Amino acid sequence: MAQGKGGSHPTSQQITIASAIDRRWTIMAALLGSSSAVMLFHGLQQELHPTPGRELALTIIAFTLPFQAVWFMIHTYHIAFGPHLGAQQQHTLHRLSSICQLLAYVSVLGLAILWSSASFYVGGSFLLATFIALGMVRMAMSEARHHDLGTAGARGEG
């Protein structure tokens, strides 16, 4: 990580970026772990007591697992080789990472279907709350990014 102006401490922007990367890593790890556990547990249940709703949910979750794994591969590659990549390669990796992350989030739909089989209200509430939470996170990130750009511009960094 590059150092701040004094040479000994990272800048607040570098800390913010590192923090955002750590949060993304944690979210994706939780999603991958949850998806794997759900596939194992409900896959066994599906063999014993098959239901069409569970089959659909497991299909959706199974579809998302490769994208979750590829996101980790891209992220790890970027950590190892990011400083040696050109701007176009960086852009391509970022775009692929974003697509994988978006498709990985579709697994939440599979979870909602599973929970809907327990109760329409439980599944529906989970899905509604998920979309509200994702919207709130997107708004907060957009607002923070806008604030950081304004602060950097005022300091002559942007």
Report the 10 Å Cβ neighbour count for 59.
11
Kindly tell me the burial class for residue 50, based on how many C-beta atoms sit within 10 Å of its own C-beta (0-12, 13-18, 19 or more).
Answer: exposed
What's the confidence (pLDDT) of residue 3?
A: 47
What's the confidence (pLDDT) of residue 4?
A: 46
Ranges of residues in the chain with a pLDDT under 70 are 1-21, 145, 147-158
What CA–CA distance (Å, rounded) separates 101 from 68?
A: 7
Cα 117 from chain centre: 26
What CA–CA distance (Å, rounded) separates 114 from 152?
A: 45
- Under DSSP, is residue 96 helix (H, G, I), strand (E, B) or coil? helix
Provide the residue type at 85 as one letter: L
The candidate with the shortest Cα–Cα distance to 104, out of 23, 38, 27, is 27
Report the 10 Å Cβ neighbour count for 31.
20
What's the confidence (pLDDT) of residue 65?
A: 95
Give helix then strand counts, H and E, for the chain.
5, 0
**What element of type H or E holds 76?**
helix 52-81
What's the confidence (pLDDT) of residue 153?
A: 53
> To 5 degrees, how large is the angle CA 45–CA 29–CA 53?
30
Scan for tokens 């896959």, then name that residue.
43
